[in-house]
Amino acid sequence: MNPNSVITKAMNFAAQKHADQRRKGAKQEPYFNHVAEVAWLLAEHTGGQDAELIAAGLLHDTIEDTATTHAELVREFGQNIADIVMEVSDDKSLPKQERKRLQVEHAPHKSDKARLVKIADKTANLRAILESPPDGWGEERKREYFIWAKAVVDGCRGLNQGLEDGFDTLYKRGMSAFTPKI
């Protein structure tokens, strides 16, 4: 499959899988906006040269947040893309705190492409919290999320300075906004 076809197929697949989902933020934007932003960040910071990576960015939440299976992704997009998505998917049978702990612990051991997807995902999440935070999230909860996201990203560093700098800029902005002033 040519690179443009795999990206547009992944875009269509993700749009269909996430069609009924909304972001948790006050704006309640379509969930697809999140996966599109992750894919854009990956394309922007890698020169758009890796169609598998961009497709994985579009698909990164399909196993975790929809009824999509790894086997379905293999059939539709091939082993490489399916494996990247699987690498970045949490096991939803585990308690939330355990999933978060495992993301930090496993981040340094992921493949390079999975680590890039993680950085882009956390960057998009920080932006969403800054621009349209979930209802009921106070300053402390936002701050805790930022600290946790940084711990995940710190385990993914060393692959793409531009992507890392983008994360760091949002992290600093959030920490400045969410840290109590003395």
| Residues with a known catalytic role | 64-65
The contacts of residue 140 (CB under 8 Å, 6+ apart) are 178
CA distances to 26, 35, 50, 58, 64 from 18, in Å = 18, 9, 23, 11, 11
Other beta carbons within 10 Å of 90: 16
The contacts of residue 38 (CB under 8 Å, 6+ apart) are 57, 58, 60, 117, 120, 121, 124
For residue 22, the cross-strand partners are 30
Residues in the chain: 182
